[in-house]
Amino acid sequence: MIRFVVGRFIYMILTMAAVSMVAFVLIQLPPGDFADSYANKRQQAGAPVTVQELDDMRHQLGLDRPWYIQYGTWVTKIVTEGDMGYSWEWRRPVADVIGERLPLTLALAFSTLVFMYVVAIPIGIYSAVRQYSLTDHVFSTVGYVGLATPNFLLALILMFLGQKYFGQSVGGLFSPEYQDAPWSWGRVVNLMEHLWIPVIVLGTSGTAYLIRTVRASTLDELDKMYVMAARAGGLSPMRLLLKYPVRMALNPIVATIGWRLTFVISGAPIVGVVMSLPDTGPLFLQSLLNQDMYLAGGMVLIFCAFTIIGTFISDILLILVDPRIRMQGNS
Amino acid sequence: MIDKKMSASSALSALALGAALLVSTGGASAGECPTVADPQGITTVYPEQLDLSDYQRQTGDKLVLTDNPLFADQVKSGALPSVDKRVPEDALVYLPYNECGKYGGMLRGLSKALESGTSEILSWRQVNLVRISDDLQTIVPNVAKSWEWNDDFSSITISLRKGHKWSDGTPFTADDVVFYIDDIIKNKDLHPTVPSVWMVGGEPVEVTKVDTETFRFDFAAPYPGLLHFLATGGSYFAAYAPKHHYMPYLLKYNPKADEEAKAAGAEGWVQQFGLIWHKWKDAENITAHALTRPTLESHVIELETDTQRRQYVANPYYFKVDSSGQQLPYIDRQHERFLDQELFILSTLNGEVDVKTQTLSLGNFPVIKEGEAKGDYVVHRPSGAYGPYIVFNQTIMDPSLRAVYSDVRFRKAMSLAIDRNELNEVLWFGLGKPEQAVPIGVPFVTDEDRNYLIEHDPAAAGALLDEMGMEMGTDGIRTGPDGKPFTLLWEYTAQHNSSEFATLVSDYWKKVGINVTVKEVTTQLMREKATASTSDINMEWDVPYEPTMISQIDVYIPPYSDIGPLVGVPWRDWVATDGASGEEPPAWAKRLFELADVWKTVLPGSDRYLEIGTEMVKINLENMVIIGTMGALPRPLVVSNKLTNIPEAWNVSHFNYGYDYPYRADQWSFK
């Protein structure tokens, strides 16, 4: 087990290194740089920018240096000082900008995960047990619709309804009056009032997918010989169901916990943008559009770290949950 | 338009100063309040405002200054001096639009993000030496108390207000202007080349301190457009900086500046300074450092800006008072919320924004108009936006394309082929007015100019093309004059065009036999191609308003823009290098370069000004350099009913006038 963990850990570091370089190069690839997109935005506001100003800016930001030097400085600073560089867009250290949004991002992600599992697993099991019943058909239909509806559309619809019928303030996770307020009961309520839309929006497609997965894998297990044997042995139906088929059926869910977390955090920028959520999604998209390199690079790194760590956790969990899975080279 | 001499009354008031000033806090005589609506006999030299001494002289009254309750505790504890010690001796007195307002409240604004081209909030608190009045014509004193030009407009002496203070209480003096010019603008480490507004006749400006409240700018050539630039296009750039605050960051004043910058994580003092100072004031508001940076603006930053909002609080040292003696601004706080642009509308309908003047597109007009009652706001509809412009690149590198585009008959034909009325109906609800792209608000543009070749006349267009030798084939497509197949590649960016516009116009052109391919590209790519003169059509331009024309005539001569040149980059190079590189411009372009040189030295409003202006419009128009489509497009804007002292006619919402700047946001108040 220790050997397995250490080995995995070394792979993780190597993957991170490779990913960081790929990320940096990818972010550099599109034409133009931060100075260009800055000029763009200023021009949109009608404010003139001269070529001279742009050259000054490139020089000040070090954009006139070759990419490998810029990459080298960036990585060295992260490794030696934990300094992820400067966000030119926000004129603040990258760590600060991301740090400001990470807690709410994690809260949102966690709520969504809980929502997904709490809704999907019971429904999936129920559907499997009552296969082809009316309820199964209803759940399936709703599930397919959830899977097929684009998240941003659902977000727009729910927001419109929220605004029209509840007079709810749009965008963000707080009403403006609670934005800077210290934590209080009112602020928590305000957060909850706003949280349900993104949680539902972010959760639906995942929930639908999970329902199908749980239903299918539970169905697979229900016909297995050991289930019949146990049933014949007189085990109560509920206990039997939970102890064997469901446990097996959870394998694919455990296996995907790693990237599901990342999916919720990084894979939802569109919803974040549409709803102006103070999570990392819109920040990520904007940093890419603005070619704010260190911020974009920093976020890619964090997302990758989440995926890699998540996969690592999944691997360990799988071994624990399912004794049939053996560690490589250990059999 | 420009007051050459200090006005007689302000000279008088200077004499009266000292004797007339006796102010104290508390016990306001709130009864009298001359306003713009009811001036109660007060006369002003400049519209809607006058100096305190002048006000005292006219009323024979001692105006009692009163304070915002927001500062009461601080005054009581001694943290702040009383209001009469905070405002300058000769404070600027505003006649509010309707009433002397009530203190308090938070003005809520919206934008997409910092510097996203969606925020007018910078204009709510900004100040500069001079301001443009809401007649959009008159330059009025602001931070500057008065000014005086020399005879040939090559030297201007500007007086500041005695006792004017930065928001931290430090005196604001001529040294802060000298510091701005000599240590920042002319600092080779920060600006390898002096910004062009401060470079006149090939020489940078010279600034001289005359005394504590007076300084002089000397230019190598006449520069009568300076004040117009400061009041409009440059209104977001204050021509001064707090010397006491920035000195420690400059190597010149602090030998340890470099070490300190490195300790703070920057690569050196130059980079450090670049992060905390920016002449575009929006940029420097972002940092935590902004919390300590003194300003003269009506509001100072109060909380560290994050990715969701920024917030300002009233500046206790603001230099303006109302006509009842209350220190401005009335509104305690300004809050800017960052929201996705798509949500602006929903947020507006919800009544969550008090003023939104920028970026509510015309397409949303019906929806926001319908929501007026529920959201408790009024929609104004100032006209003045222009539809897209089309400029054929006459200096394109491809010789056969160049032969076509540089033929004025082709450009005229393309203008005639466009059905502007249909465009208006399809794209702009018929709210616009078909027009050529001619300068706005200038006295030398006639209706004839506006209507030049705007009629839809495909037959005349065809005749011009025939005349050029572009023969129509049996497939309805014309060849080039050289008999070879002719294709026009129209690359455009979503920023300066819409695909609907490109599709419609290319259809009109196809109908007269021009084979057009339309393709959307990125702004960056478009600019690279425009600069290299390899694009067929360029569109990135903003039609000049009078103040921009006066202060930045380069927007009306080739290549019309620095970043996204329209046409004639090689011509400009030829002129700049005296023929050593680039290409010789055609006669009309040469004439424009000549005229621009003279124009920069001519007094706005003079006969010569009208003469040159008229000729420049004529040259640009007759050569059909810029094909205009639509004028007078409304730009909807929203103002809450809870606000008072709002202009009745909100006539402009444009960068060239600093968005809301002319309407004096510092005297807006909640009812």
Predicted confidence (pLDDT) at residue B304 exceeds the cutoff of 70: yes
Taking CB atoms and an 8 Å limit, are B308 and A167 in contact across chains?
no
Least confident window among B22-36, B221-235, B563-577: B22-36
Report the chain B residue with the minimal C-alpha distance to residue A270.
Answer: B340
Split at pLDDT 50, 70, 90, the class of B369 is: very high
Instruction: Report pTM.
Output: 0.85
Which is it for the CA torsion B40, B42, B44, B48, positive or negative?
Answer: negative
Mutating which of B229, B302, B303, B342 best tests the A interface, going by the most A Cβ atoms within 10 A?
A: B342
Pair of tokens at residue A151: 């998240």
Pair of tokens at residue A58: 């490139």
Output b/e per residue, B458-472; b: 16+ Cβ within 10 A. bebbbebbeebebee
DSSP H or E run through A199? helix A185-222
Split at pLDDT 50, 70, 90, the class of A181 is: confident
Predicted confidence (pLDDT) at residue B455 exceeds the cutoff of 60: yes
Least confident window among A262-271, A276-285, B481-490: A262-271
| Contact status of A60 with chain B (Cβ, < 8 Å) | yes
Taking CB atoms and an 8 Å limit, are B339 and A171 in contact across chains?
yes
pLDDT given for residue B334 in this prediction: 96
Q: Which 136-165 residues of chain A touch chain B by CB within 8 A? A: 159-160, 163
The mean of the pLDDT values for chain B is 90
Is B385 or B253 the better-scoring residue by pLDDT? Answer: B253
Cβ(B326)–Cβ(B87) below 8 Å: no
Which DSSP state fits B328? S
Cβ(A124)–Cβ(A139) below 8 Å: no
Vertex B528: Cα angle to B523 and B530 (nearest 5):
90
pLDDT given for residue B15 in this prediction: 39
Least confident window among A256-260, B74-78, B457-461: A256-260
Does residue B18 sit in helix, strand or coil? coil
Taking CB atoms and an 8 Å limit, are B117 and A45 in contact across chains?
yes
pLDDT given for residue B11 in this prediction: 42
pLDDT digits (tens, 9 = 90+) for B484-509: 999 999 999 887 788 899 999 999 99
| Contact status of A53 with chain B (Cβ, < 8 Å) | yes
Predicted confidence (pLDDT) at residue A105 exceeds the cutoff of 90: no
Is A140 or B23 the better-scoring residue by pLDDT? Answer: A140
Distances (CA, A) of B169 to B47, B85, B269, B290: 29, 10, 27, 16
Is A266 or B512 the better-scoring residue by pLDDT? Answer: B512
Predicted confidence (pLDDT) at residue B25 exceeds the cutoff of 50: no
Q: Which 70-89 residues of chain A touch chain B by CB within 8 A? A: 83, 86, 89
pLDDT digits (tens, 9 = 90+) for B644-658: 999 988 988 888 888
Integer Cα distance of B523 and A36 in angstroms: 9
Cβ(B115)–Cβ(B344) below 8 Å: no
Is B247 or A305 the better-scoring residue by pLDDT? Answer: B247
Which DSSP state fits B515? E
Taking CB atoms and an 8 Å limit, are B524 and A170 in contact across chains?
no
Taking CB atoms and an 8 Å limit, are A90 and B524 in contact across chains?
no
Least confident window among A54-58, B12-16, B581-585: B12-16
The crossing angle, in degrees rounded to 10, of helices B607-622 and B587-599 is 160
Mutating which of A44, A105, A174, A285 best tests the B interface, going by the most B Cβ atoms within 10 A?
A: A44
pLDDT given for residue B644 in this prediction: 96
Average pLDDT (B70-85) is 95
Report the chain A residue with the minimal C-alpha distance to residue B276.
Answer: A91
Q: How far is A91 from chain B (nearest CA, A)?
A: 6
Does residue B218 sit in helix, strand or coil? strand
Report the chain A residue with the minimal C-alpha distance to residue B655.
Answer: A46
Split at pLDDT 50, 70, 90, the class of B12 is: very low
Report the chain B residue with the minimal C-alpha distance to residue A277.
Answer: B339
Cβ(A46)–Cβ(A72) below 8 Å: no
Name the range with the highest mean pLDDT among A10-19, B22-31, B135-144, B375-384: B135-144
Integer Cα distance of A291 and A285 in angstroms: 10
Predicted confidence (pLDDT) at residue B514 exceeds the cutoff of 80: yes
Predicted confidence (pLDDT) at residue A168 exceeds the cutoff of 80: no
Query: Nearest-CA neighbor of B238 among B297, B283, B191?
Result: B297
Output b/e per residue, B310-320; b: 16+ Cβ within 10 A. bbbbbbbbbbb
Integer Cα distance of B569 and A244 in angstroms: 77
Output b/e per residue, B54-76; b: 16+ Cβ within 10 A. bbbbbeeeebbbbbbeebeeebe
Other CB atoms within 10 Å distance of the CB of residue A157: 13
Strand partners, B633: B385
Split at pLDDT 50, 70, 90, the class of A265 is: low
Least confident window among A99-103, B22-26, B649-653: B22-26
Split at pLDDT 50, 70, 90, the class of B10 is: very low
Write out chain B residues lying below 8 Å of A84, CB-based.
none
Predicted confidence (pLDDT) at residue A327 exceeds the cutoff of 90: no
The crossing angle, in degrees rounded to 10, of helices B52-59 and B8-16 is 80
Report the chain B residue with the minimal C-alpha distance to residue A59.
Answer: B271
Is B175 or A46 the better-scoring residue by pLDDT? Answer: B175
Write out chain B residues lying below 8 Å of A99, CB-based.
none
Strand partners, B355: B639
Query: Nearest-CA neighbor of B361 among B388, B378, B341?
Result: B341
How close are the terminal C-alpha atoms of chain A, in Å? 12
Whether the ipTM is more than 0.90: the answer is no
Predicted confidence (pLDDT) at residue B27 exceeds the cutoff of 60: no
pLDDT digits (tens, 9 = 90+) for B245-295: 999 999 999 999 999 998 887 788 988 898 888 888 887 777 788 899 999
pLDDT given for residue A243 in this prediction: 78
pLDDT given for residue A264 in this prediction: 67
| Contact status of A278 with chain B (Cβ, < 8 Å) | yes
The mean of the pLDDT values for chain A is 82
Average pLDDT (B588-615) is 95
Average pLDDT (A48-77) is 81
Taking CB atoms and an 8 Å limit, are B349 and A39 in contact across chains?
no
Split at pLDDT 50, 70, 90, the class of B22 is: very low
Other CB atoms within 10 Å distance of the CB of residue B53: 25
Query: Nearest-CA neighbor of B46 among B94, B14, B99, B98?
Result: B94
| Contact status of A38 with chain B (Cβ, < 8 Å) | yes
Does residue B604 sit in helix, strand or coil? coil
pLDDT given for residue A328 in this prediction: 55
Predicted confidence (pLDDT) at residue A137 exceeds the cutoff of 60: yes
Distances (CA, A) of B255 to B189, B259, B270, B326: 15, 9, 13, 45
pLDDT given for residue B203 in this prediction: 93
